[in-house]
């Protein structure tokens, strides 16, 4: 019999059916018997409020106490003694998501398209966790996960191509970090394919975390349709500095992360922020990120605007934002979508 059960009421032994969408949950198999409290916590942290449970396949242990028969000296009949099972140890949700991701990447039977979807959905969950709680532990776990993702994008061309397709859709708020992260890694891959002079993993971490400082910017400000007031604009313009500070406090401010987070809003003609740097004053890594950043902003649906198709966004960037980007980098960026 199939029953609907609130996630908070799930118990070890229940056979859950989560549905097929990887965007909804971070388990590889959608249907399984719960074997640990960890899995219940993960279902809850995935934001799932209610699940279907197949009671015919469930075997629930009603009590957390385990009873064993003990026979004392001189006693004829064994006594039942309760032993309390230890609580499950605390876990970091990003480490769990990361573990699942690695299993998927290493599974040779999963086709590239499906792998790309899992990489995407898991990255999204990782960014959600980091931006909702940018503590040092989450930042470090997130960076380690990005290292795996970058390794995979570099090693597997088919999955990389499939990712370029996926990033052209949009899902919800945190997709921007993931889209910019992936597009920037794809552009860096194209630019640095013959070079070993770049730490691609650290670069990836910088790209994914470029807007880390936005965790403090109120949502109504991020989604505001009209012009920002001077005060609001000041809050917005502070996010590169804030991101740097968070990374520094987490002891994760590498050179790559530093220049990307701090300079991704600088523009070639000096019209950007926070410093108004121009041309070569802007680090190459930040220039890569700024192209992916603007492209994703144009091709995403926001509360106040419709998304543009890829072709139109690239056309606007080429014609109307000509002086914002390095033209050679932009040409390489356009080639990513030729696949
Ligand atoms: Fe930004
Ligand atoms: Fe951004």
Give pLDDT tens digits for 246-255: 999 999 999 9
247-269 burial: b if 16+ Cβ within 10 Å, else e: beebebbbebbbbbbbbbbbbbe
Going from the Cα of 187 to the center of ligand 1, the distance in angstroms, rounded, reads 18
Going from the Cα of 291 to the center of ligand 2, the distance in angstroms, rounded, reads 10
pTM of the predicted model as reported, rounded to 2 decimal places? 0.67
Mean pLDDT over the full length of the chain: 84
Total domains, the chain = 2
Find the ligand nearest to 214 CA.
1
In a domain, 186, yes or no: yes
Q: What percent of the chain has pLDDT over 90?
A: 39
Give the tens place of pLDDT for each residue, 148-160.
888 888 888 877 7
Going from the Cα of 32 to the center of ligand 2, the distance in angstroms, rounded, reads 38
Q: What is the CATH number of the domain that holds 35?
A: 3.90.105
In a domain, 299, yes or no: yes
Find the ligand nearest to 265 CA.
1
In a domain, 97, yes or no: yes
Q: 323 and 208: one domain?
A: yes
Going from the Cα of 208 to the center of ligand 2, the distance in angstroms, rounded, reads 9
Q: 243 and 97: one domain?
A: yes
Give yes or no for residue 144 having a pLDDT over 60.
Answer: yes
Task: Give the lowest-confidence range in 44-48, 55-59, 263-267.
Answer: 44-48
Going from the Cα of 281 to the center of ligand 1, the distance in angstroms, rounded, reads 18
Going from the Cα of 264 to the center of ligand 1, the distance in angstroms, rounded, reads 6
Going from the Cα of 265 to the center of ligand 1, the distance in angstroms, rounded, reads 6
Going from the Cα of 336 to the center of ligand 1, the distance in angstroms, rounded, reads 22
Range of the structural domain that residue 256 is part of: 93-336
What does the pLDDT read at residue 24?
63
Q: Which residues surround ligand 1, an ion (CB under 5 A)?
A: 211
């Amino acid at each position: 019999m199939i029953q609907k059960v609130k996630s908070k009421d799930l118990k070890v032994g229940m056979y859950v059916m989560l549905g097929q969408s990887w965007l909804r949950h971070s388990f590889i198999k959608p249907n399984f018997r719960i074997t640990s409290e960890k899995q219940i916590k993960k279902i809850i942290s995935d934001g799932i409020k209610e699940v279907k449970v197949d009671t015919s396949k469930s075997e629930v242990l009603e009590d957390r106490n385990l009873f064993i028969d003990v026979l004392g000296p001189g006693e004829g009949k064994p006594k039942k003694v309760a032993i309390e099972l230890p609580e499950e140890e605390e876990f970091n949700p990003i480490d769990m998501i990361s573990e699942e991701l690695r299993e998927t990447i290493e599974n040779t039977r999963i086709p590239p398209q499906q792998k790309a979807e899992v990489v995407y959905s898991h990255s999204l969950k990782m960014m959600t966790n980091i931006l909702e709680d940018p503590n040092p532990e989450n930042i470090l776990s997130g960076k380690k996960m990005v290292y795996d993702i970058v390794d995979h994008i570099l090693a597997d061309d088919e999955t990389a191509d499939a990712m370029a397709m996926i990033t052209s859709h949009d899902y919800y708020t945190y997709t921007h970090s993931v889209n910019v992260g992936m597009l920037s890694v794809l552009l860096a891959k194209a630019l640095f394919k013959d070079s070993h002079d770049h730490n691609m993993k650290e670069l990836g971490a910088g790209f994914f975390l470029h807007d880390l400082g936005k965790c403090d910017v109120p949502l109504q400000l991020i989604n505001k349709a009209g012009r920002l007031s001077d005060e609001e604009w000041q809050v917005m313009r502070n996010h590169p500095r804030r991101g740097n500070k968070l990374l520094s406090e987490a002891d994760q401010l590498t050179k790559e992360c530093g220049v990307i987070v701090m300079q991704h809003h600088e523009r070639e003609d000096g019209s950007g922020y926070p410093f108004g740097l121009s041309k070569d004053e802007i680090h190459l890594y930040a220039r890569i990120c700024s192209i992916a950043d603007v492209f994703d902003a144009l091709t995403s649906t926001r509360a106040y605007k419709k998304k543009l198709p890829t072709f139109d966004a690239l056309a606007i960037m080429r014609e109307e934002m000509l002086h914002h980007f390095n033209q050679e980098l932009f040409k390489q960026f356009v080639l990513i979508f030729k696949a």
